[in-house]
Amino acid sequence: MPDDNVTVEEAVVADPELLEAFRELLPQLSSSAPPVTAYTLDDIVESRATALFVARDRGGKIIGSLTLAIFRVPTGVRAWIEDVVVNEAARGSGVGAALVNAAVARAVEAGARTLDLTSRPERDGANRLYQRLGFEVRETNVYRRTLEVPG
């Protein structure tokens, strides 16, 4: 499926179609993520700090998504890509590139000077895509602390 058969748009409402798409896509991204809820999607869509992009095939079916976080810190505007997922049947067809390019355009529009993302080393296709789109591997330490969420 060439790029011209894919459209990317920002999700503006957390409707049943979006929820159903995420119930299909999220397990393809993470086997440990809890199932997404309508509340969670609504929170993402309504947040000023995030933009949820979806890719649709020619028939209008959602076949991929990407979340872009944009936030201001004392040193400037930061932008970060998270949770990029393309339906397995559509991988390698330009969907991921279309999603990333939409995120790049939005980050530029917001005044971000850089756009960051992480990708697990074993995700060969994704890592090749990001490098092809101009992202550079950085030598940095990424730290994570797992937090206990009450309730």
pTM score of the predicted model: 0.92
pLDDT at 47: 97
pLDDT < 50 regions, the chain: 1-2
User: What residue segments make up the domains of the chain, in order of their start?
Assistant: 3-132
Report the alpha-carbon distance of residue 4 to residue 15 in Å, rounded: 26
Is 86 exposed, middle or buried (CB count within 10 Å of its CB: 0-12, 13-18, 19+)?
A: buried
Residue 99 belongs to what H/E stretch? Answer: helix 95-110
The DSSP bridge pattern shows strands 50-56 and 76-86 to be: unpaired
**18, amino acid identity:** L
Q: Quote the mean pLDDT of the chain.
A: 94
The CA distance from 83 to 90, in Å, is 16
CATH number of 3-132: 3.40.630.30
Q: Judge contact between 17 and 59, C-beta under 8 A.
A: no
Please give the pLDDT value at position 1: 41
**Residue for token pair 């060439």:** 2
What are the pLDDT digits (tens) for 38-71?
999 999 999 999 999 999 999 999 999 999 999 9
